């Protein structure tokens, strides 16, 4: 039997070409692995295609639950937004897909694994660092980086192999899963051009959104969402529901100038109604239940967390260490957040928690105040001591 290569198969043109290509150029039999992370896909036809293209085995793995529990939940707790805006659906899915590919390779005694990433993007970095971190003896094959074929040449190559493949319907390159939808290419490559309506699927244009606002309440326990409008839902259903509701109000579009790991700037368009709504609600709840110092430190560390995840370093020990810090802070993140969805906006309009640090009796300006205002005078004198002193001594005032 020929050597085996386990391919991360998406059903798209590139990874389809790879099945006969790996056989022809590398002399290896291909096991195609399809990992379901919630992408909208007709898996039946993807499996069928892989078989027709000559895969010796096709394995489909449902990793949705693992994706939510071990990746998305961590991202929610970390308020994970790369460069402050992108909830990293694509970035988060890659280490999970890589781990599944490695698992299959080990089980089947394969000597190589393959992915369909180009040499220009982040995904090659994420796949390869993850694969090597999990099993550094596997050979990694990345044909798209080597073959230099245009889309038309790829279609022709498959035709020569006797497989007719319909060209992808969209002019965009799309990657979607439960957490976000990434859209690249076509006219989006000109950062001046407004993303056309066809780029969006999960969110309505404002002209088609309802004329009355909708309020939703998201309940959190230990930093993760567990309830929607008082109803306990499994996390996958909760995310899907919030995605539909927020998207129906036109919320969740992102148009971003992004810095890739490989040094290229790119224009990226995303849709992530649920991710953005849930993170916004979570951030707000944290402000109610965490101390000022916890919040300040967490913010710094969140930037590092998002950078690590985006940059393909999911398996970096620092990421785990940061998660340990974050998990500790999340022990107190219980409560409910009320979000108003209306005309492309998601606004937090209410929050409550049994662990709230807000004390109305202290904060109120009414006569019910329990705050001893006379304490403030001495505090201010000490607080400003060194600033006042410096201005006394120096001839030039700051
Ligand atoms: N820029 C995003 C990331 O690196 C998304 C890449 C998505 N890929 C695609 N084929 N559209 O995470």
Site to substitute for ligand 1 among 92, 175, 257, most atoms within 8 A of C-beta: 175
Is residue 382 included in any domain, yes or no?
yes
Distance 99 CA to ligand 1 centre (A): 19
Q: Are residues 43 and 68 in the same domain?
A: yes
Residue with tokens 């979000």: 339
Strands 4-8 and 139-141 come out as unpaired
Q: How far is the CA of 175 from the centre of ligand 1 (A)?
A: 7
Question: Considering only CA atoms, which residue is closest to atom 8 of ligand 1?
Answer: 175
- Check if 93 has its Cβ closer than 6 Å to any atom of ligand 1: no
Instruction: Check residue 282 and give left, alpha or beta (phi > 0: left; psi -120 to 50: alpha).
Output: alpha
One domain, residues 101 and 83: yes
- Please work out whether the CB of residue 182 comes within 6 Å of at least one atom of ligand 1: yes
pLDDT for 397 beyond 80: no
Of 149, 169, 189, which residue constitutes the final position of a domain?
Answer: 169
CA of 123, closest atom in ligand 1? 4
Give the pLDDT of residue 164.
80
Token pair of 18 as six digits: 């790879």
- Shared domain check, 182 and 139: no
Examine the domain organization and report whether 182 and 208 are in the same domain: yes
Domain identity same for 252 and 286? yes
357 assigned to some structural domain: no
Residue with tokens 């107190």: 332
pLDDT for the residue numbered 343: 98
Residue 398's pLDDT is 76
Could you tell me if 121 and 179 lie in one domain?
A: no
Tens digit of each residue's pLDDT (9 = 90 or more) over 259-294: 999 999 999 999 999 999 999 999 999 999 999 999
> What is the distance in A from the centroid of ligand 1 to the CA of 376?
52
Residues 82 and 182 in one domain: no
122 lines ligand 1 (CB under 6 A): yes
Compute, in angstroms, the gap from residue 351 CA to the centroid of ligand 1: 34
14 lines ligand 1 (CB under 6 A): no
Residue 104 lies in a domain: yes
pLDDT above 90: residue 65: yes
Ligand 1 atom nearest to 184, measured from its CA: 11
pTM listed for this prediction? 0.96
Dump pLDDT digits (tens) for 226-265: 999 999 999 999 999 999 999 999 999 999 999 999 999 9
Structural domain containing residue 387: 368-394
Same domain (yes/no): 255, 195? yes
Nearest to 314 by CA among 72, 95, 75: 95
Q: Domain tally for the chain?
A: 3
Give residue-wise pLDDT tens across range 303-322.
999 999 999 999 999 999 99
Give the chain's radius of gyration (CA, Å).
Answer: 25
- Tell me which of 370 and 208 has the higher pLDDT: 208
Same domain, 156 and 183: no
Ligand 1 center to 160 CA (angstroms)? 30
Of 163-167, 364-368, 377-381, highest mean pLDDT: 377-381
Q: Answer yes or no: do 211 and 74 share one domain.
A: no
Give the position, in ligand 1's atom list, of the atom nearest the Cα of 91: 12
pLDDT at 165 over 80: no
Q: What is the 3-state secondary structure (H, E, C) of 247-272?
A: HHCCCCEEEEEEECCCCCEEEEEEEC
- Average per-residue pLDDT for the chain: 96
Mutational pocket test of ligand 1: of 121, 168, 261, the residue with most ligand atoms within 8 Å of the beta carbon: 121
Q: Is 175 in the pocket of ligand 1 (CB under 6 A)?
A: yes
Judgement on whether residues 209 and 340 belong to the same structural domain of the protein: yes
Q: Which pLDDT does position 305 carry in this prediction?
A: 98
* Residue 17 included in any domain: yes
Residue 317 lies in a domain: no
CATH number of the domain bearing residue 195:
3.90.1260.10
Residue 34 lies in a domain: yes
Do residues 127 and 260 both lie within one domain? Answer: no
Q: Is residue 35 part of a domain?
A: yes
Ligand 1 neighbourhood includes 130 CB (under 6 angstroms)? no
Q: Where are the alpha helices (DSSP H) in the chain?
A: 13-21, 43-52, 64-67, 73-77, 89-108, 123-134, 144-147, 151-160, 235-248, 273-289, 292-310, 317-330, 360-363, 375-383, 385-393
Assign residue 148 the CATH number of its domain: 3.40.50.620
Measured between alpha carbons, how far apart are the two ends of the chain, in Å? 79
């Amino acid at each position: 039997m020929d050597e085996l290569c386990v391919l991360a198969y998406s059903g798209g043109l590139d990874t389809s070409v790879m099945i006969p290509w790996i056989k022809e150029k590398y002399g290896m039999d291909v096991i195609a692995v399809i990992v379901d992370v919630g992408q909208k896909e007709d898996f039946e036809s993807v499996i069928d295609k892989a078989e027709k293209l000559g895969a010796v085995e096709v394995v489909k793995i449902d990793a949705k639950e693992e994706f939510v529990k071990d990746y998305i939940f961590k991202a929610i707790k970390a308020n994970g937004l790369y460069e402050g805006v992108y909830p990293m659906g694509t970035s988060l899915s890659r280490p999970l897909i890589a781990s599944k590919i490695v698992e299959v390779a080990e089980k089947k005694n394969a000597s190589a694994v393959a992915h369909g990433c180009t040499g220009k993007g982040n995904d090659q970095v994420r796949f390869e660092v993850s694969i090597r971190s999990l099993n550094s003896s596997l050979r990694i094959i990345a044909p798209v980086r080597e073959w230099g074929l245009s889309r038309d040449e790829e279609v022709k190559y498959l035709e020569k192999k006797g497989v007719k493949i319909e060209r992808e319907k969209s002019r965009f390159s799309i990657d979607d899963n439960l957490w976000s939808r990434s859209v690249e290419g076509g006219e989006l490559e000109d950062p001046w051009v407004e993303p056309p309506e066809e780029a969006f699927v999960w969110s309505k244009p404002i002209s088609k959104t309802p004329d009355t606002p909708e309020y939703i309440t998201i309940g959190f326990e230990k930093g993760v969402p567990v309830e929607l409008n008082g109803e306990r839902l499994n996390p996958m259903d909760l995310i899907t529901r919030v995605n539909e509701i927020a998207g129906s109000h036109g919320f969740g579009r992102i148009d971003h100038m992004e810095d890739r790991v490989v040094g290229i700037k790119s224009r990226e368009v995303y849709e992530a109604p649920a991710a953005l709504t849930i993170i916004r609600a979570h951030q707000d709840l944290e402000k109610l239940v965490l101390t000022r110092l916890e919040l300040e430190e967490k913010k710094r560390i969140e930037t590092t967390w998002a950078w690590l995840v985006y940059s393909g370093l999911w398996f970096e020990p620092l990421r785990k260490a940061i998660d340990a810090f974050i998990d500790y802070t999340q022990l107190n993140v219980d409560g409910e957040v009320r979000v108003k969805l209306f005309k492309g906006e998601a606004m937090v309009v209410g929050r409550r928690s049994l662990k709230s640090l807000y004390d109305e009796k202290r904060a109120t300006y009414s006569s019910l105040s329990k705050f001893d205002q006379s304490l403030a005078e001495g505090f201010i004198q000490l607080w400003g001591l060194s600033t006042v002193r410096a201005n006394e001594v120096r001839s030039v005032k700051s």
